[in-house]
Each structure stands twice: as structure tokens, then as C-alpha cells.
A = this chain, B = another copy of it.
Amino acid sequence: MPIWDDVVPPEERALYEHGGWGGVAGFGKKPALLVVDMYTAFVDPAYPYASPDAAQTVTAIRELLTQARASAMPVLYSRAEAARNVAERGRWKGKGRLQPIMARPEAYQIVPELQPLPTESVVVKTAPSAFHGTNLVSQLVVHAVDTVIVTGAVTSGCVRATVVDAFSFGFRVVVAAECVCDRGPTSHKVALWDIYTRYGDVLPMADVLAYMRTVRSGVAGDARVTHVAASHSRGG
């Protein structure tokens, strides 16, 4: 059963299916792995931005990270930074950043389990999307990427905004379901439903890993692409 079925009622799902939404978009040939905002403040429950499931999400992302490096896929991260002034901060309504714990040096650092290699890019962002106000799209163009596998936190916020921008910039977008987390389950599930119906594929991480294992020197093998797409059409 898809993850959103207990929140999105059958009549709404029927309406979208009837309109030809959803289905499988499929993987491309040159994927990148993107890890959105897995810094301490979004993972460690002591911080105001953490999701309850963040620890499991770290473990799941780590598996994708290992495979991405074995497959020589580009791996890119986003994180935030403490703002120096009101313009850098933007118009976020949350007041969590005012809590004293946010002044700790590790607050905005990627968690140790997902530590970027010295050659992997980390874009520093101030908006929800990892594309907004960063050069992420330029880096993906240099890598000749056609598919962005999105992971991280939180599903209904920075992950979703990043998915919408990746889609808008013309990339195929895949979300590995176990590799994203949120503070609240309703927003999490509806974000995945909205993504699935319109912008990209939402797949079990096993399917994403199966695809990634076909990637050698950054390029996907043809046969498996079709197969994985097919397996998704059963589950999604």
C-alpha cells in the first residue's frame, strides 16, 4: 500500500488516476545523489528542527551514499548556515533558530554518518530549495546529469521545494521513500503524494538501489532501467 493511502482518501486518489496523473516517469542515464539538509539541527532530537525518524533516515541515506560512491555518481549536499543579518535570514516564520542550542558549532554541520568527501560539493542555502540562491543547477549541468535522486529533510519543506525545482529545471526526479523524513506524518505523506502525481517518482529505496547498482562510472545500464521502472509500477 502506498504510504499516502491513509491520508489521501480513495475518491481523491481516483480523481487523480482518472486525470492521468501519477504513473512512472522512470530513471535516466546519468543520475546524481542529492542529500538535502541532513545537518545536526535537522537530525539530533535535541534541536528544534529535528524529525522523529531522522536517525533511521540517516541509516537509509548512508546505504545510498555508499552505492553512489561505488557507482561514481556525483554526490551533492545542501545545508544552511547561521545568518549574519535579516536579509540573509529571509522571511522564515519559525523561531527555532533563536534557541541557544542553535549557536553550537555543529548545529549547521552535516552529521558525521553522512560526512561529505573533500571532493563532494555542499551548497549553502537560505531558501527551502537546494537550487534557490545556489549554483546547484550549474553543477548538475557540468556533470551532465539527467536524473536527481533526492533524499533528506524535511519532506514537505526543503525536500519538496528541491524536487519542484529539479523538475522545473528539466531533470528526472526520484525520491527514495525511506530516505526522507519530516516532523509531521501528514505533511510528509501528502508531499510524497503530490510529488508522485505530478513531478517525479516516489520509490522504495530497494528499487532505487537496484537502479544505482547498474550505474558504472556514473552511467546507468540500459536493461535494468526498464526493469526497475516496471517493478515500481506494481508498488507505486
Contact = CB atoms under 8 A, between A and B. Distances in A.
Interface in A13-31: 15-16, 19-23, 25
A191 B156 CA distance: 9
A67 interface: no
Interface of A: 7-9, 12, 15-16, 19-23, 25, 48-49, 74, 84-88, 90-96, 98, 118-121, 124-129, 132-144, 146, 156-157, 161, 164-165, 167-173, 183-187, 190-191, 193-194, 197-200
Contacts of A173: 91
A84 B170 contact: no
A98 B21 CA distance: 12
A171 B139 CA distance: 10
A190 B186 contact: yes
Given A127-B135, A144-B144, A25 B93 contact: yes
A167 B193 CA distance: 23
Contacts of A48: 19-20
Contacts of A171: 91, 141
Contact of A121 (B23, B84, B127, B143): B84
Given A8-B187, A19-B95, A132-B168, 19 more contacts: A12-B187, A15-B183, A16-B183, A16-B184, A19-B48, A19-B96, A21-B94, A21-B95, A85-B120, A87-B140, A88-B139, A92-B199, A93-B200, A129-B164, A132-B165, A138-B168, A141-B141, A144-B144, A156-B190
Contact of A161 (B134, B138, B141, B164): B164
